[in-house]
Structure 1
Amino acid sequence: MAEDVRLVVDTVTRIDAAGRAVTLASGATVRYDYLIYALGSGSGDLRVPGAAEFAYPIATLEAAQRLRPIVDAASATAPVTVVGAGPTGIETAAELAETGRSVTLVCGQALGPYLHSRGRRSVAGRLAALGVTVLEGPGATVTAVTADVVRLKDGRTLPSAVTVWSAGFGVPDVARRSGLSTDGAGRLRTDETLTSVDDERIVAAGDSAAPSDLPLRMSCQAAIPLGARAADTVLSRVTGEPPSTVNELFVGQCISLGRRAGLVQFTDRHDVARWFHIGGRPGARLKEFVCRGTVRQLAGEARKPGSYRLHRAPGGAQRQQLLQARRDGAPASR
């Protein structure tokens, strides 16, 4: 660790913006000149009756570690239900089914609604080959969870020895509890430089940031550029220069479908799915290449600070058009 870095392992309970300090769960206080708010995200609020008591979230490493012994303890033929058909739910269902588990994936509405129809068919085909039962449509919404049953809106009852919860989106509520402005999901509201709308000494990055109330999708494609942009914003303010704004640039979406198959859904730079995708084993290999490349980018930046520059690539004019449409009160499609 660098000489000018101090690591503190604790939990922040409150931000005192006026006093430029954060209060920790241990009772200690850490003061700052600038604060980067990068708390990430997790599962949504488990408000469905019984979900908090009987379902197992999987959005974080700690949650996944708690789930593993539960799955291992269940019999090999025990039914497993995965709730939520976003990337996490799809990947979880595929991984469990590949080990021989009997898995039902409850989508709520549609399987992978962000995918192009061709990519969705590819995912559905792979899940079917693995033996996953996929439930879609307005009736496939969970209304209650018990220790051994999942109930759906249309009246169906699913036996479930283990219920995995991957539905919804939630962020820590530190900003809200600290009196800072947040959006409806609890993200810290910022301008386009990722600076808090309440305090120029607080800069946000990642899933817990809502720049101009137009947050970017959860992904490495957003997380790394937002982190670099937040750092550049702080450095610009330290040197008295005007900070630059967010550039939105996407390439695709990657999903693992077990250890031997995957899907890479290509998108335009504004994150709208295109018809082209790569599936099967080539899709798995390409996703693994992307994951390794992400780690290499982080390692390269650690070795040579400032070497990462993709956050400075032009993201096109659409984000500015969306912002202008919002200011003008006119509808805009993304």
Structure 2
Amino acid sequence: MTQHTDVVVIGGGYAGVMTANRLTRRDGVTVTLINPRATFVERIRLHQLAAGTDDAVVEYREVLAEGVRLVVDTVTRINAPERTVTLGAGAPIGYDYLVYAVGSGSADLRVPGAAEFAYPITTLEEAQRLRPVLDAAPRTAAVTVVGAGPTGIEAAAELAERGRRVTLVCGGVLGPYLHARGRRSVAGRLARLGVTVLDGPGTRVTAVTRDAVELGDGRTVPSEVTVWTAGFGVPDLAVRSGLTTDALGRLLTDETLTSVDDERVVAAGDSAAPSDVPLRMSCQAAMPLGARAADTVLSRIDGERPSTLNQVFAGQCISLGRRAGIFQFAHRNDVALWFHIAGRPGAKLKELVCKGTVKHLADEAREPGSYGLHRVSGGDQRGQRLRAERDGAAATVGRTA
């Protein structure tokens, strides 16, 4: 007789959907996906939603396997000893295994005035809140984008291409991940779009008011609409549930993505901190982590030892409006190379990546187990890093003993 196993996946983003779809490959496994929204959010298109060039949502029927039960609700607490989750509206749900894939959102807006006057765009609701504000603002209104990571660069370029007067406040360097050559390419494209880029050590935002942004070097930047993209945070569900997390609140796991507290709890995506050395928050990491999490659960069901994490990166892809973009290539350990593809080819490659993420999920829904990017060989670079950190910690203890 086939043993029946109930698996609950919390979070319906890139990692959660990949996990849920992959788990349906096994007979006797019932998969419940709990998500606060009834549609899948293409998070990498939220800057387009804010600018009015895309709606950034996909119906779950297009990306979620038919065998997955979708519960539209919010998990308020995980009771690991009793193997149940408490919902905001519905009855508690029990599980045999739990996959924690709650993703990430905006960091706490602790800069004075930011929570009141700035508009984050890391969630669907935030981008939807900003959209009508921009629509109502005069075309000549000063728009300031705070933060010069991929989201900030993309938002600034998208808005400028739509005719907005945009200032990008970096708070440091433009595109910290980028190689110097790639950074020059991005700066050139932003300049052609008319974006004013303020970078350097004095550009950290110290306050936001209704009509301005104040910088650390004393400058005041006029801003009728302030878009906030500086930093990410994770939901505090794991902390509230008494599970061990890293300093940011990500669930602490081993290299199989299994919680250090409970082998019945597995994490994936931005909310996972394997070995307290988390991966870069991105859909590029989320989907392989989702596949790995599913494989870990299936291995445990079979009584087998799960495989460890083997994550490689290709680089970073950034849109620069609808007519240009950049693909910054990288070593497999996620360090940028000198080589990049820019301009219109970069835009086409970026769009291919955006469509490809949805296609990967849809393909896994139709043929569970077909995804294999989490098994691409990347050498033992992550293992070497972990061993080096452990050896360094041991040496420090030895010196202080």
Deviation by residue 1:86-117 (Cα, 9 ceiling, x = unmatched): 00000000011111111010100100011000
Rounded Cα–Cα distance in structure 2 between residues aligned with 1:131 and 1:271: 31
Rounded Cα–Cα distance in structure 1 between residues aligned with 2:350 and 2:220: 36
- Structure 1 counterpart of 2:334, which letter? D
Query: Is the 8 Å Cα contact of residues 81 and 104 (structure 1) preserved in structure 2?
Result: yes
Larger RCO: Structure 1 or Structure 2 (Cα < 8 Å, ≥ 6 residues apart)?
2
- Structure 2 counterpart of 1:236, which letter? S
1:43 aligns with 106
Distance apart, 1:293 and its partner CA:
2.1
2:82 aligns with 19
RMSD after superposition: 1.3
Deviation by residue 1:67-90 (Cα, 9 ceiling, x = unmatched): 100100111111000000000000
Rounded Cα–Cα distance in structure 2 between residues aligned with 1:122 and 1:4: 46
1:83 matches 2:139 = no
Match of 2:179 among 93, 116, 120: 116
1:207 aligns with 270
TM-score (norm 2): 0.81
SS in 2 for 1:90: helix
Rounded Cα–Cα distance in structure 2 between residues aligned with 1:111 and 1:294: 26
SS in 2 for 1:72: helix
SS in 2 for 1:164: strand
State how 1:118-197 maps to structure 2 within 5 Å.
Answer: 118-197=181-260
Rounded Cα–Cα distance in structure 1 between residues aligned with 2:344 and 2:133: 30
Do the aligned partners of residues 3 and 153 (structure 1) sit closer, same or farther apart at CA in structure 2, a change above 3 Å counting?
Answer: closer
Query: Is the 8 Å Cα contact of residues 259 and 267 (structure 2) preserved in structure 1?
Result: yes
Q: Could you tell which deviates more after superposition, 226-235 or 20-29?
A: 20-29
Deviation by residue 1:26-60 (Cα, 9 ceiling, x = unmatched): 26211111000000111111000010011000011
Q: Could you tell which deviates more after superposition, 308-317 or 200-209?
A: 308-317
Match of 2:359 among 296, 301, 305: 296
- Structure 2 counterpart of 1:215, which letter? P
Match of 2:390 among 312, 327, 333: 327
1:310 aligns with 373
Deviation by residue 1:175-210 (Cα, 9 ceiling, x = unmatched): 001111111111000000000001111000000000
- Structure 2 counterpart of 1:275, which letter? W
Query: Is the 8 Å Cα contact of residues 104 and 234 (structure 2) preserved in structure 1?
Result: yes
Query: Is the 8 Å Cα contact of residues 248 and 316 (structure 1) preserved in structure 2?
Result: no
Distance apart, 1:330 and its partner CA:
5.4
Rounded Cα–Cα distance in structure 1 between residues aligned with 2:79 and 2:347: 45
SS in 2 for 1:65: helix
Query: Is the 8 Å Cα contact of residues 66 and 365 (structure 2) preserved in structure 1?
Result: no
- Structure 1 counterpart of 2:304, which letter? E
Rounded Cα–Cα distance in structure 2 between residues aligned with 1:258 and 1:277: 17
- Structure 1 counterpart of 2:104, which letter? S
TM-score (norm 1): 0.97
SS in 1 for 2:168: strand
Match of 1:57 among 120, 129, 146: 120
Distance apart, 1:315 and its partner CA:
2.0
2:307 aligns with 244
- Structure 1 counterpart of 2:72, which letter? V
Q: Identity over the aligned pairs, expressed in percent? A: 77
1:284 aligns with 347
Unaligned runs of 5+ in 1: none
- Structure 2 counterpart of 1:11, which letter? T
Rounded Cα–Cα distance in structure 2 between residues aligned with 1:327 and 1:135: 39
1:227 matches 2:295 = no
Query: Is the 8 Å Cα contact of residues 144 and 152 (structure 1) preserved in structure 2?
Result: yes
2:7 aligns with none
